[in-house]
Each structure stands twice: as C-alpha cells, then as structure tokens.
Structure 1
Amino acid sequence: MVQFRDAVSAYKALNGLICVYKPPCVPVKQVMHIVKTNLCRDLNALPGRPIEKRVEIVGSTTEPMQVKLVPNYADNPLVCGPRYINDDIRCSWATHLGLFSSGVLLLGINEGTRITYKINVGRPTRAFKVHGQLGKATDTYFWNGRTMERSTFHHITREKMDKVVAHMQAAHQKTMFEQSGLQMDSQQTYELASQGLIRPADNKLPVIYGMKCVYFNPPNFTLEIQSVNEYDKYLWTLIHDLGVQLKSTAYCTAVQCIRQGKFDVDLALLRKHWSLEHIAYNMNMCQEILDENERLLKPESAILSA
C-alpha cells in the first residue's frame, strides 16, 4: 500500500485513473462526491505545510524597534478551515453507469480527467452480467416497474434458452452490418471484420458483439453481454424481448458491469476501500494497464454509419 509522509506530496500524486465498483442505486455523481470527500478527509489528516509567519514590528517609535516573525493565525486550519476541500479535486467518469446498474466504473482524478475523455472517445467494449426472471412482465422491463402480465415458464429449457440467445446475437450482428450498408457475404465486410471489432459511427447506436446464457435456474437466469454504446434501459429491453421469443415473459432484476476494456471487477475498489492509500495504489495499477494498452487512449476509427 502507498504511504505518504505529508499532504502536499500526496496531493501531487493524485493525477491519474482509478477503477471503482459502483454499488446499485447510487448515482455516479454521488460516487464521485464520496471519493472526493474521502480524499479530502485523508489529505487533511496528514501533516500539512508549515503555518506561514507574519512580520511584526514592536517597540516604541522613539526608540529602536524590533522585528519579529510570529505565527500567522489567519493561516491556521482552525481559523481558515481545512487545507483541502472537494473543489480542489477534479473528477470525471469515462463511461456512465445507470442508477440501478453496478460494477466497474472508471474515474479520472485531477489530470486523469484527460484520460477519461480519451477513453470515452475510444469507446472500449464493456461486458455485463444481466440478470433476469421469467414469468412476469413490467411496464419498465425492470423489477421496480408495475406488473403488466404473468405467464408460465415451465416449458422453457436450457436448450431453448441457448437457441434463442444465439438467434438474438446473430440478429443484432446482422442489423449492425445492414445499417452500414454492407452485405454479409461481401469481401469488403470480411476485410473490415478481420481488422477487429467494428464500431458504429454514431456513438448513440448500441451494438451487441456477444451474448450467451451463463446461468439458468428457472425462473432465474443470467446473460453475459459484450457491447458498446449500450445503456441500462437497452439491456432491460433485451431481457423483455428474450421472454417474448421464448413464448413467455421476462423482466430484468439486475445489471452488473464486469469489465470495461482491460479493467475488470478484480481491479475495482469496493466502497470500503475508497481511501487515499487504496486509491493511490489502484491508480498505479491502472497506469500500468494503460501503459501496456496504449490503444485505449486512441480514438477508434468509426466504420459503421448511423
């Protein structure tokens, strides 16, 4: 763990990217506020810079006067307040997570805000575990919505689930190529696909690269989805559509981001570890990953058209 001798050196070291685990039902802005508050708390607990001195001239004006340096009480933290406040720390997120979503969240601290901007432009893929439940449909497609319909699900087997999921993945990939004006059996499409993941030109267009069922115990199931430009309501809709194609109903119960680019949940800091020492250590680990994968900071060339 990183140890600091004083607050000044600690503050100068807080320039980079960190990976935290966002809890569900906690907004991203609140996560950033908690991180900044904890950093200020730990910085103010470290030894600060010496209190400034002020010049004081004493004695009678008719005699030689004495010049002394005395403590400047106006610079005392008990008078002027804490050395570090939340406004002294800049923080930004790389890609947003919805209110009810949890998982990997990349935050930039101070100069690290430039890194989050570059990652956002580069649009790395994200992997999610989307949990669903069969037998009920809600008006929001999520567990907190109003129940609209109930149905049976005992006819659904693992084989049927895998077949429908594979069909949905193929349909999304076909739509992705159709929106670009490319033919699935053309040489141009093959050459573009061989160069790597094809990203849409419109950063608001969700693209699904992979989808599979990793857990099935009716009525509960879990899908692992790899995508880009997705958002929480779009993932909820996928669960609803899956239930319809299975000739039943389904709604989403939870969304967890397990990976963003090269950053996964094993690297993410839990809420109890959002402190200065753990954040500084995590920042060093994230920097090592960035150094090994410089492509994350370079914008991807958009291939697909909106």
Structure 2
Amino acid sequence: MVKFRNAAAAFKALNGLICVYKPACVPIQQIQHTILTNLCRDLNVLPDRPHEKRVEIVGPTNAPMTVKLVPNYADNPLVCGPRYIKEDFRCSWATHLGLFTSGVLLLGINQGTKLTYLINTARLTRAYKIHGQLGKATDTYFWNGKTVEKSTYGHVTREKIDKVVAHMQAAHQKTMFEMSGVHMESQTMFDLAAQGLIRPANNNLPVIYGIKCVYFNSPNITLEIQAINEYDKYLWTIIHDLGVQLKTSAHCTGVQCIRQGKFDLDIALLRKHWQLEYIIDNMDQCRRLMEEHSLILQPKSAILSV
C-alpha cells in the first residue's frame, strides 16, 4: 500500500478512475459525498506544508528597527479551516446505477472525470445478476410495488426456464441484427457481425447480448444478463416477462451489476475501504487494467443505425 509523507503529494496522486461497490438503496450522490468526505479527512490528517510566517517590523521610528518573522495566524487551520474540503475535488460517474441496484460503479476523481466521459461514450457492455421470485406480480415489477396478481408456480422447472431464456436470447439477437437494415443471410451481415458487438446508434435503446439462468430454487431464480443501454426498470421487466412465458407470475427482488467492461467485483472497493490509501491503490490498479486492455484507445465496434 502506498504511503505518503505529506498531504500535497497525496492530493496530486488523486487523478484517475476508481472502481467501488455500490450498496443497494444508497444513491450515487451519497457515495460521492462519503468518498470525498473520507478523502478530505485523511488528507487533513497527513503532515502539511509549514505554516506561513508574517514579517513584523518593531521598534521606534527614530531608531534602528528590528525585523523578525512571527507566526501568521491567518494561515493556521484553526483560523482558516481545513486545508482540503470537498469543493477541491471533482467527481463523476461513468454509468448510472439505480437506487435499488448494487454492484460495480466507476467513479472519476479530478482528471479522471475525463475518463468517465470517454467510458460513457464508448458504451461498454455490463453484466448483471437479476434476482426474482415466482408466484407474485407487482405493479412496478419490483418487490416494493403493490401486489396485482398471485399464481401457482409448482409446474416451473429448470428445463422450462432454460428453454424460455434461450428463446428470449434468440429473439433479442434476431431483433438486434434486423435493426441493422441488412439482409440476415448476406455477406454484409456476416462482415458486420465479425467486427464485434453491434451497438445501437440510439443510446436509449437497450440491447441484450446474452441471458442465462444461473440459479433456481423454487420460487427463487437468478438470471445473468449481458446488456448495453439498460436501466433498472428495464431489467425488472425481464423477470416479469419470464414469469408470463412460464405461465405464472414473477417479480424482481434485486439487481447486482457484476461487471462493467473489464471492471468486475474483484477490484471493487467495499465501503469499509473507501479511504485514501485504498483509493489510490485502486486508482493505480484501474489504470493498469485500462492500459493492459486498451479500453479507451481501442476502435469502436460496429454501430447499428436505427
């Protein structure tokens, strides 16, 4: 872990991207506030520059006067306040996570805010684990909504879930290629698919690249989804639609983002590690990860024109 001898050196190192774990039911603004507050607290504890001195000239004006340096109380933190405050930092997020969504969150600090903008425009794919429960449907498709329907779910098996999920994935992939405006069996379509993931030109259009069931213990179910341009309410509807196709009802109980691009849970900082030393180490780890995979410099994949 990096150790700094003074606060100025530590402040200069706080320029980059960090990966933190966002807890559920905690807004991103509160996470920003907590991290910046902790950084200010840790920086103000480190040794700071010497206090400025004030030149004082004393003695009678009709005789040789004495010049001396005395402490300048205007530079004392007890008078002017802490050296570092939250307004000294800039902080932004790369992609927004909903209030009830937990998981990987990318934040840029100071110069790192430019990286968050580049990541946002690059539109990296994200992977989620969506937890649901069979037997009940709500008006919001989430657990905190009003119950609108209850149904039996004893006929639901893992084989039926896998069959429906495979059908949903095929339908999404077919729609993704159809929106390209190119014939499905043409050479142009093959070349377009060979370039990589086909991203929609419209940032508001969700696209699902993969979906599978990773856990089932009736009535609880967990889906793993790779998507782009998604949002929390759209992910809730996937569980609801799954319940409809299984001839029952279902609602979402939780959403966890497990990966954004190459950033996964292994490098995400927990709340107890939102401290200066861990943040700077994580910033260096994210920088090496980006350099290793050329996340920002790599050419963009194929774009759907819709």
- Aligned-residue CA RMSD (Å): 1.0
CA contact (8 A) 1:128 1:224 kept: yes
The worse-fitting range, judged by mean Cα deviation, of 261-270 and 181-190 is: 181-190
Task: Output one character per residue of 1:97-156: Cα deviation in whole Å (capped at 9) or x when no partner.
Answer: 000000000000111111111111111100000000000000000000000000000001
Q: What is aligned with 2:184?
A: 184
Q: What is aligned with 1:258?
A: 258
Q: In structure 1, what is the Cα distance between the partners aligned to 2:293 and 2:115?
A: 13
Q: What is aligned with 1:97?
A: 97
CA contact (8 A) 1:123 1:299 kept: no
Q: What is aligned with 2:78?
A: 78
Q: What is aligned with 2:129?
A: 129
Q: What is aligned with 1:219?
A: 219
CA contact (8 A) 1:142 1:236 kept: yes
Q: In structure 2, what is the Cα distance between the partners aligned to 1:299 and 1:89?
A: 31
Change in CA separation of 1:34 and 1:299 when aligned onto 2, cut-off 3 Å: farther
Task: Output one character per residue of 1:229-250: Cα deviation in whole Å (capped at 9) or x when no partner.
Answer: 1010000011111100000000
User: In the alignment, is residue 232 of structure 1 matched against residue 240 of structure 2?
Assistant: no
CA contact (8 A) 1:90 1:110 kept: yes
Q: In structure 2, what is the Cα distance between the partners aligned to 1:186 and 1:151?
A: 45
Q: In structure 2, what is the Cα distance between the partners aligned to 1:94 and 1:303?
A: 20
Q: In structure 2, what is the Cα distance between the partners aligned to 1:92 and 1:302?
A: 27
Shift of 1:62: 1.2
Q: What SS does the corresponding residue of 1:208 show, helix, strand or coil? A: strand
User: In the alignment, is residue 45 of structure 1 matched against residue 45 of structure 2?
Assistant: yes
CA contact (8 A) 1:123 1:300 kept: no
Q: What is aligned with 2:117?
A: 117
Q: In structure 1, what is the Cα distance between the partners aligned to 2:34 and 2:182?
A: 47
Structure 1: gaps spanning 5 or more residues:
none
Percent identity over the alignment is 74
Q: In structure 2, what is the Cα distance between the partners aligned to 1:214 and 1:302?
A: 29
Shift of 1:183: 2.8
User: In the alignment, is residue 140 of structure 1 matched against residue 140 of structure 2?
Assistant: yes
TM-score, normalising length: structure 2? 0.98
Q: In structure 2, what is the Cα distance between the partners aligned to 1:305 and 1:25?
A: 36
TM-score, normalising length: structure 1? 0.98
Partner amino acid for 2:47? P
Q: In structure 2, what is the Cα distance between the partners aligned to 1:20 and 1:33?
A: 13
The worse-fitting range, judged by mean Cα deviation, of 238-247 and 290-299 is: 290-299
The worse-fitting range, judged by mean Cα deviation, of 69-78 and 169-178 is: 169-178
CA contact (8 A) 1:18 1:283 kept: yes
List aligned pairs for 1:251-290, cutoff 5 A: 251-290=251-290
Q: What is aligned with 1:167?
A: 167
CA contact (8 A) 2:192 2:302 kept: no
Task: Output one character per residue of 1:19-63: Cα deviation in whole Å (capped at 9) or x when no partner.
Answer: 000000011111111111100000001011111111111111111
Shift of 1:17: 0.6
CA contact (8 A) 2:195 2:301 kept: no
Partner amino acid for 1:259? R
Shift of 1:186: 2.0
List aligned pairs for 1:143-158, cutoff 5 A: 143-158=143-158
CA contact (8 A) 1:108 1:114 kept: yes
Partner amino acid for 1:108? G
User: In the alignment, is residue 59 of structure 1 matched against residue 22 of structure 2?
Assistant: no
CA contact (8 A) 1:52 1:72 kept: yes
CA contact (8 A) 1:165 1:212 kept: yes
Q: In structure 2, what is the Cα distance between the partners aligned to 1:21 and 1:68?
A: 54
CA contact (8 A) 2:196 2:301 kept: no
Structure 2: gaps spanning 5 or more residues:
none
Q: In structure 2, what is the Cα distance between the partners aligned to 1:41 and 1:298?
A: 38
CA contact (8 A) 2:197 2:302 kept: no
